[in-house]
Amino acid sequence: MSRAFRNVAIVGKYQSQGIAEPLAAIAGHLKADGFTPIIEKDTADNIGLSGYATAPVAELGKAADVAVVVGGDGTMLSVARILAPFDVPLVGVNQGRLGFMTDIALHDTQRALAAILSGEYDQEERHILQGTVSRQGQVLLDTLALNDVVVSRGAIGGMVELTVAIDGRFVYNQRADGLIVATPTGSTAYALSANGPILHPNLAAIVLVPVAPHALSNRPIALADTCEVEMTLTRGRDAGAHFDGQAHVSLIDRDRITVRRYQHNIRFLHPRGYDYFRMLREKLHWSALPPAQ
């Protein structure tokens, strides 16, 4: 057993059909191999998994050495934001659709986890954003985002109008359906569908991607991850700010959204030989095979 990993948290997307059996199998194999499984409490309660230690997701960071997340990227985003301050590495088992962050196939879970927990893994660090929404000097929301912070129009509104500043310097007034501030991790999410660039995870960068801008000259801008982005809503009926699509706040005119890099990173553990570009080929359906040498 790896000395680094003894207590292993297990978090599952318990709403998914058929997930109870693989979660129970993972816990059983870990226990048999001498690890201590700690099941996230809502997961255990909803699938009826008993006989193991449990803890609320907010307490897993203090109890676990590593976390195994079974589900899709949405589940991973939720867990990552909570565990970010605790430096708990994450292992993703994909039971969703694309699975950019949950890269272990469900059928290969036992073999892959055994190797990773014995120390055979490739480690990858991803940075995370901290976003603050303020109204007349009062903080409405202060939260984290691994993928992106999005300011967007509402379902019944027209375009939003934003004043955007970077490190306190005015950049532009933006009229668009929205504006995305994305990490390299989030560059393959909503930002990609809005024609933003794919940023390699090793880049110390963030990207601003307008969504359907009124002026066609408004293009994505890549920034150093040391920059602070400030967006002020000047006009936007039913507008909102969204953090990884999981935390939301409604906005009114003159609300301010500030985005900066968070002080902690997220660590992902991948099976040995993980290849970011192979993952992109598979998930984005690029040519599946490299050219013959």
Q: Tell me, what DSSP letter sits at residue 227? A: -
**Structure confidence by residue, pLDDT tens digits, 112-140:** 999 999 999 999 999 999 999 999 999 99
Q: How far is CA 236 from CA 3, 132, 133, 150, 171, in A?
A: 53, 18, 15, 14, 19
Read off the pLDDT of each residue in 258-277 and give the average, rounded to a whole number: 95
Distance, CA of 231 to chain centre: 21
Q: What residue ranges of the chain are covered by domains with CATH 2.60.200.30?
A: 129-262
Task: Tell whether the model's pLDDT for residue 165 goes beyond 90.
Answer: yes
CATH architecture of 129-262: Sandwich (2.60)
Q: What residue ranges of the chain are covered by domains with CATH 3.40.50.10330?
A: 7-119
* 7-119, CATH topology level: Rossmann fold (3.40.50)
Between 84-98, 159-173, 178-192, 256-270, the lowest mean confidence (pLDDT) is in 84-98
Contact between 82 and 68 (Cβ < 8 Å): no
- 102: which 2 tokens? 């949950």
Task: Tell whether the model's pLDDT for residue 2 goes beyond 50.
Answer: no
Burial of 180 from C-beta contacts in 10 A (0-12 / 13-18 / 19+)? buried
Q: Tell me, what DSSP letter sits at residue 6? A: -
Contact between 92 and 271 (Cβ < 8 Å): no
Write down the catalytic residue from 65, 73, 103, 255.
Answer: 73
- Find all residues with CB under 8 Å of 15, minimum gap 6, and list them: 46
Question: Three-class SS of residue 270?
Answer: strand
| Side-chain-side CA neighbours of residue 7 (13 Å) | 15
Q: Are β-strands 240-243 and 148-152 bridged in parallel, bridged antiparallel, or unpaired? A: antiparallel
Query: In the annotation, is 244 catalytic?
Result: no
Please give the share of the chain, as a percent, with pLDDT higher than 70: 96
pTM exceeding the 0.75 threshold for the entire prediction = yes
Sign for the pseudo-dihedral over CA of 168, 173, 176, 177: positive
Question: Three-class SS of residue 27?
Answer: helix
What is the CB neighbour count within 10 angstroms for residue 3? Answer: 7
Longest Cα–Cα distance in the chain: 62
